[in-house]
Structure formats: C-alpha cells, structure tokens
C-alpha cells in the first residue's frame, strides 16, 4: 500500500498517456514505474469511473479515497512492552560503566518477549533525540562542571556618590543534573575568577572530576586544542581541589553547550528579572541572585521528569568528590628576574633569594601573607610578605660567603671611619643604620658618605651633614643633594642670627668711645 500511495501522484500522467494511445510498456517506461502498477492504476481508474481529463473540482484526497478506499491499520501481532526510557537515560548518566547492552540484558530478563538489542538501541536513540539540545550529550554524574561569565552585566549604585558600577555574573552548570550556580563579581579578573570557583564547589558541597571553562586569560595563557597552557594560579587551584581543567576548544560552543544554555537561563531568569531593581552593594545583589537561583533550580524540566535540584540530589550529589580540608587560598603567580644583589623586586619591596640565582628568571607565588620563590619547580625561598615600599627582606644565608664576612664587621667600625669627618657625619651615619631593618643594609650608604668627603672635602661634608641633621633628612641621597646644590655653603637659621648680632655690634658706641672723645677735647 505504501508503494501505491507513493505512485498515486502519477495517476494523472498514466491516464493522460493512456488516453493518447500509448501502450502499457511505453507508459511504464515514461513514468518510471512497473507495467503491473500501470495495469493496476488503469483498472482502479476504470472501476472508480475516472478518465482523462480528470474533473477540475476533485481533490487529490478524494482521488486517493476512490482509488484505494479507507486506510486500515493491521494491529501488530504480539505487542511488546516498552522500557522506561527516562530510567534508562538516568542509569547511563549516573554510572560510568553502565552500557546500553547491560540495560538491554536486564530488560530482557524482566520482559522475555521484549525488543531485541538492535531495536532496543534504536528506540532509545529516537527517544533521546526528543530531549532538549543541552541534554543530547551524555554526561556521567559527578564528571564535569561547565563554567563561564554571562554576556550581560548587572548594576550596583554607590550610595554616597551615586556612581553606577558594573557587576558580572559567574555561572556554572553540572553536566548530569544541570544544577546551576550563579554569583556576581566586580570583575572577571583572576582574583574574582578563582574566588567564584572556590564558592562554586562550596555551593555544590563537592568537587567534579573535570572543570570545563572557555579560553579566557584567567584560565588559559595559550590556547591549544591538544596541550593548552593553563594559568599557573588556575592550575594550582585545580590541583588543590583535585579536579582536571579541560578547556573547551576555541570557537566550539558545543563543547560547553551546558553552560551556554545555563548562561541563557541565568540571563532570562536572573538578570532580566533584576533589571529594574536598585542595589547599593555587591552583597545585597548576591542575596537577590541566590533567591532567584533557588527558583531556577526548582523549575520543572520541560521534557524530563523532576527539577534540577531533584536530579542533583538523586543522581549527582553522592558522586561528587569530597571538598579539601581547607579552601584554596588565592595565590598569584608571576615571573621575575633576580637582580645582581640577589634580591627580587615584588610590588616595590625587595626579597632575597640564594645568590646562585643571580640573573635567572624565577617564579614568584604571592599570597596575602607570604611570598615564595620557585626555580625549576623547586621552592628556593620564602618570606613573610611586606608592604614597605623600597624596603628589604634579607636572609643572611642567601648571601655569598665573601659578603657575609664583609658584613660581619661591627657597626662601630663603620661609624669610626665616618666619624673622622666630624661629629655631624657620625650622627648622620648612626641615623642611617638605625632606619634600616638590618644595620648591614646601611653600610653601603655610610661608605658613600666617606666617598662624598673624598670628592667634596671633609669640611663641606661636615657642613652638609649638619644641615641634613638640622632638617631631619639624614640619608646619603640628602647629603649628596646638599653638596651638589652647594647648600652647605649657606648658613643655617641659627648661624645667621649669630652673624647678624656680631655685625650689628660694630655700630654700638661703648664707654671707651666717649672717654676717647673727652680726652681729645682736653688736648
């Protein structure tokens, strides 16, 4: 009957050629159908009373009805029970080693007259194709979490200044259950990116085996399909939680279709809902986001039973790896060069490393309270972090032996050398040594004072040190500046008053002046 209904579209041509006098063989060759089919059409047309040309007011459905009659459906012999395809789908997602073959064998044990294996697989794939696109990929429970930032932003207003500031929505979606997490951050930079990941796993109460981001610089320094170069901080975070970072391929949104759909839902059910609300702090905004996120996770699926929360609790929660004992402490990694004085500058502070690493490039790990240095994946130095600009943090063992012996001289010997130029010079040197965290760090400045005495003269150096001491600017650079600008030749405020008094005394007439005048008159 299927072939007859397919050939029914050529009935008009068959009748026309038959009316033109063509033989059955010729009609079959022109229409591309069998001679028996042509004969059958002509017989049915004669019974139905059709002849060429066909009536203009007759429809194609009426022609089919008069030629072939009503369609009848023959019931299948021995109807077979269909499996619960939703349960089959859940089993495949929940357990990594469960296969369609195993599920079919279990189905056949319960229903001996059921589908054979090939039919079973075809029926399941037909059922799975009716799901949403985000569910077509089969994800094992606890295997993957997809992360990204939404394209649209939110707004927070400063209560004092009225300034409008953008906030960005971080979104993550679990692969199996579609359980979604979202929070707002001020930026998409590395500290906020890592902080959002830490809170994400805290929200889920466990860790997935893989984390799938896109390719931002906060995640991937150099994108590559086969060997991507991860950001060191992101790689350290992943190592702390025991998850593997598997970046999606560039320009392949299907690799992270889960989070693409999750971002779309977050934009519709969170950002769009909050578009008219006014927030005065990021914390206030995140409270509102958490309320809408709860509603999103409790919304029923359109083509699957249950909700995201229910599927998470039933399928995925127990499969997550446990959280580490402590949350990850944000650490920033950067490269730096070792200066010739075996110190590395980190945010305008200088930290010592072993002198053998001079002129090498090493890695710096910077946390809130510590600075660590790594060379060839080995930690070579660690210091308490200091925020003193221009300061030094030095470990004596990092110096070469000759430097340690040189710096072993007592401070008194240095002061004795400087003191030969005068008391003011010694006083300035004492202040220099006192202002340094370690006295050894001031030895070079004291030796510099001695060099200034050789270049400008001891008397000028002593005058310059008196001026520096008077104005409380006792340092090598201040003394050198005074000498270069010849300010040491000018009197200090106190010395100027004394000179003024001496000069004025020349014009005062004493008692001897009048005595001499009287003697001159007598004469």
Two tokens at 58? 């007759």
Residue 204, pLDDT > 90, answer yes
d(CA 109, CA 126): 23
Angle between helices 476-484 and 458-470 (to 10 degrees): 120
Q: Tell how far CA 268 is from the center of its chain.
A: 23
CATH for 144-319, options being 1.10.486.10, 3.30.1490.20, 3.30.420.10, 1.25.40.10: 3.30.420.10
Length of the chain: 523
pLDDT at residue 206, rounded to an integer:
94
What are φ and ψ of residue 497, in 5° steps? -65, -40
Condensed to tens digits (0 to 9), the pLDDT of residues 280-309 reads: 999 999 999 999 999 999 988 877 788 989
Condensed to tens digits (0 to 9), the pLDDT of residues 75-98 reads: 454 567 888 888 888 888 767 668
pLDDT at residue 71, rounded to an integer:
53
Any idea which of 280-289, 378-387, 419-428, 510-519 has the lowest mean pLDDT? 510-519
Band of pLDDT at residue 337, cut at 50, 70 and 90: very high
The larger pLDDT score, comparing residue 136 to residue 365, is at: 365
pLDDT at residue 373, rounded to an integer:
93
The larger pLDDT score, comparing residue 80 to residue 320, is at: 320
d(CA 208, CA 482): 66
Residue 200, pLDDT > 80, answer yes
pLDDT at residue 232, rounded to an integer:
86
Q: Give the whole-number percent of the chain exceeding pLDDT 90.
A: 24
The pairing of strands 180-185 and 361-366 is unpaired
pLDDT at residue 5, rounded to an integer:
46
Q: What is the pTM of this model?
A: 0.50
Whether a cis peptide bond, with omega within 30° of 0, leads into 296 is no
Sign of CA dihedral 116, 121, 126, 127: positive
Residue 402, pLDDT > 70, answer yes
Condensed to tens digits (0 to 9), the pLDDT of residues 424-463 reads: 998 998 888 888 766 666 777 888 888 898 899 999 999 9
The larger pLDDT score, comparing residue 344 to residue 128, is at: 344
Whose CA is closest to 107, among 125, 96, 119?
119
d(CA 378, CA 356): 14
List Cβ neighbours of 459 (8 Å cut-off, separation of 6 or more). none
pLDDT at residue 203, rounded to an integer:
93
The larger pLDDT score, comparing residue 215 to residue 121, is at: 121
- As a whole number, mean pLDDT of residues 190-194 equals 90
pLDDT at residue 3, rounded to an integer:
43
For all residues of the chain together, what is the average pLDDT?
Answer: 81
* Range with top average pLDDT, 15-29, 56-70, 124-138: 15-29
Whose CA is closest to 332, among 308, 363, 291, 289?
363
pLDDT at residue 248, rounded to an integer:
78
pLDDT at residue 516, rounded to an integer:
42
pLDDT at residue 4, rounded to an integer:
45
- As a whole number, mean pLDDT of residues 332-353 equals 89
The larger pLDDT score, comparing residue 383 to residue 53, is at: 383
């Amino acid at each position: 009957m299927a072939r007859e209904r397919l050939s029914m579209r050529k009935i008009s041509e068959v009748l026309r050629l038959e009316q033109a006098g063509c033989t059955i063989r010729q009609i079959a060759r022109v229409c591309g159908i069998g001679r028996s089919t042509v004969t059958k059409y002509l017989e049915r047309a004669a019974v139905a009373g059709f002849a060429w040309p066909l009536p203009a007011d007759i429809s194609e459905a009426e022609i089919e009805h008069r030629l072939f009659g009503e369609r009848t459906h023959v019931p299948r012999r021995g109807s077979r029970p269909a499996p619960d395809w939703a349960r089959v789908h859940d089993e495949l997602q929940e357990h990594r080693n469960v296969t369609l073959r195993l599920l079919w064998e279990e189905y056949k044990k319960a229903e001996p007259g059921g589908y054979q294996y090939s039919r079973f697989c075809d029926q399941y794939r037909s059922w799975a194709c009716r799901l949403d696109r985000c569910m077509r990929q089969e994800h094992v429970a606890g295997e993957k979490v997809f992360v990204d930032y939404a394209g649209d932003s939110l707004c927070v207003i400063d209560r004092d200044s009225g300034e409008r500031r953008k906030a960005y929505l971080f979104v993550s979606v679990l692969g199996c259950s579609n359980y979604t997490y979202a929070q707002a951050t001020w930026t998409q930079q590395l500290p906020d990116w890592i902080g959002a990941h830490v809170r994400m796993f805290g929200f889920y109460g466990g860790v997935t085996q893989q984390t799938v981001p896109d390719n931002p610089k906060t995640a991937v320094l150099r994108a590559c399909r086969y060997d991507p170069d991860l950001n060191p901080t992101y790689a350290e975070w992943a190592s702390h939680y025991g998850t593997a970072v598997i970046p999606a391929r560039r320009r392949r949104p299907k690799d992270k279709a889960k989070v693409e759909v999750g971002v779309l839902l977050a934009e519709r059910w969170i950002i769009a809902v909050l578009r008219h609300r006014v927030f005065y702090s990021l914390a206030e905004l995140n409270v509102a986001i958490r309320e809408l996120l709860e509603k999103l996770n409790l919304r029923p699926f359109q083509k699957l039973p249950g909700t995201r929360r229910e599927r998470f609790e039933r399928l995925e929660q127990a499969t997550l790896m446990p959280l580490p004992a402590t949350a990850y402490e944000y650490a920033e990694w950067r490269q730096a060069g070792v200066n010739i004085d075996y110190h590395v500058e980190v945010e305008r502070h200088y930290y010592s490393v072993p002198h053998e690493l001079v002129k090498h490039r090493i890695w710096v790990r910077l946390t809130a309270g510590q600075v660590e240095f790594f060379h060839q994946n080995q930690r070579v130095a660690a210091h308490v972090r200091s925020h003193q600009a221009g300061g030094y943090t030095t470990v004596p063992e990092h110096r070469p032996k000759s430097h340690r012996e040189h710096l072993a001289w007592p401070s008194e010997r240095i002061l004795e050398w400087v003191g030969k130029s005068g008391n003011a010079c010694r006083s300035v040197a004492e202040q220099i040594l006192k202002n340094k965290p370690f006295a050894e760090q001031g030895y070079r400045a004291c030796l510099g004072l001695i060099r200034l005495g050789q270049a400008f003269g001891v008397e000028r150096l002593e005058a310059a040190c008196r001026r520096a001491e008077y104005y409380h600017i006792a340092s090598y650079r201040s003394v050198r500046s005074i000498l270069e600008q010849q300010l040491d030749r000018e009197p200090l405020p106190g010395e100027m008053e004394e000179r003024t008094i001496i000069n004025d005394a020349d014009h005062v007439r004493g008692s001897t002046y009048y005595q001499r005048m009287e003697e001159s008159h007598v004469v």
